Amino acid sequence: METQSKINAKDVFINLGAIVALYTVAGSLINLLFRVINSAYPQITNGYSLGGTSISLLVSTLIIFFPIFILLMWLLEKDFVLNPEKQTNGIHKWFSYITLFIAGLVIAADLITVLYFFIDGQELTTAFLLKVSVLLVIGVGIFEYYLSDILSKLTAKKRNIYRIVALIVVLGSIISGFAVLGSPRTQRLHKYDEEKMQNLINIKNEVTNYYIEKGVIPETLDVLKTGSYNIQDIDQQTNAPYEYKKTGELAYSICAVFNNASIYSAESAKYNYGSVNWVHEQGRDCFDETINPNLYSKPSSVR
């Protein structure tokens, strides 16, 4: 009864906060390392957003939540020194067993996946094996830590070793993430290029819609701006208009100035943007388009 009376709201919130921080850090760490692996061994479906917002969010989460996790675990350890019984009773014990159970499931699922791929004859690629290793290492680390905690074998020296190893892993992952991500300025330039690409794609679509309605392609983009067509013909980075030139009865070109060359291949570009090859070079680059009249019927007003 005396032990239970010492478990107060502070104990609940510190233990709960530590577990939430642990899950957040572990999840962000796994996802970040997966994306770093994808950048080193890219898949065909990786598009322009590789190393974009998602990695930014993961890096930001680690930078904020890892110190919170370390702080909360330090507060727990400090409380355990004053009240040793709290380490094996109450809310801490429950959360430790839950975490041990989840870590065990991750390890088992990880090993089952590898065994399944091997028995099924599927290709064990380098990227796949690296991702499996990431899950296994993180899962085993968490499992071993909380098992030692439950068995009361987690000494102050061992806790410090875990902290140092965790710090090295997290810092290494953040550095790797920045290597893929680039600086904030680099990311901003990538986002400008992505916006330009989306604007050019939209211009192409509206030129096609104009042809379907009028039976001809527009002479200038100003024609599209006077109707019900929705285009962004101004480069938001330079405030200069995109270049559009009618080069034939059914042909035209659209150009923009890009900060960097495409980070995807022609196959990947087609996967993300359709049949058109939107791969571009650094600087001014143009895309030549031609309307296929066989795909569209002329409006009845056009003869």
157 located within any domain: yes
Domain that holds residue 32: 2-181
Q: What would you report as the CA-atom Rg of the chain, rounded to the nearest whole angstrom?
A: 28
Same domain as 175, residue 73: yes
Q: pLDDT of 110-132, one tens digit each?
A: 888 888 887 877 777 888 888 88
User: Which of these three, 181, 197, 220, is where a domain ends?
Assistant: 181
301 located within any domain: no
100 located within any domain: yes
Which range of 79-83, 120-124, 160-164, 264-268 scores highest in mean pLDDT? It is: 160-164
> Model's pTM, two decimal places?
0.64
Angle at alpha carbon of residue 73, lines to 77 and 85, rounded to 5°: 35
Same domain as 31, residue 173: yes
Question: What is the residue type of 70?
Answer: I
SS3 label, residue 124: coil
Same domain as 272, residue 235: yes
What percent of the chain shows pLDDT beyond 90?
22
Same domain as 124, residue 23: yes
User: Which of these three, 181, 206, 230, is where a domain ends?
Assistant: 181
- Cα-flanking dihedrals φ and ψ of residue 241, to 5°? -70, 150
pLDDT band for 5, please (50, 70, 90 cuts). very low
302 located within any domain: no
pLDDT band for 41, please (50, 70, 90 cuts). confident
Same domain as 192, residue 124: no
229 located within any domain: yes
Q: Which residues are CB-contacts of 262 (< 8 A; sequence separation ≥ 6)?
A: 48, 269, 278, 279, 280, 281
Number of domains in the chain: 2
Same domain as 76, residue 167: yes
Q: pLDDT of 190-219, one tens digit each?
A: 889 989 999 999 999 899 988 988 889 999
300 located within any domain: no
Residue count (the chain): 303
User: Which of these three, 163, 181, 199, is where a domain ends?
Assistant: 181
Same domain as 8, residue 156: yes
242 located within any domain: yes
Q: What is the mean pLDDT of the chain?
A: 81
Handedness of CA 28, 34, 39, 43 (dihedral sign): negative
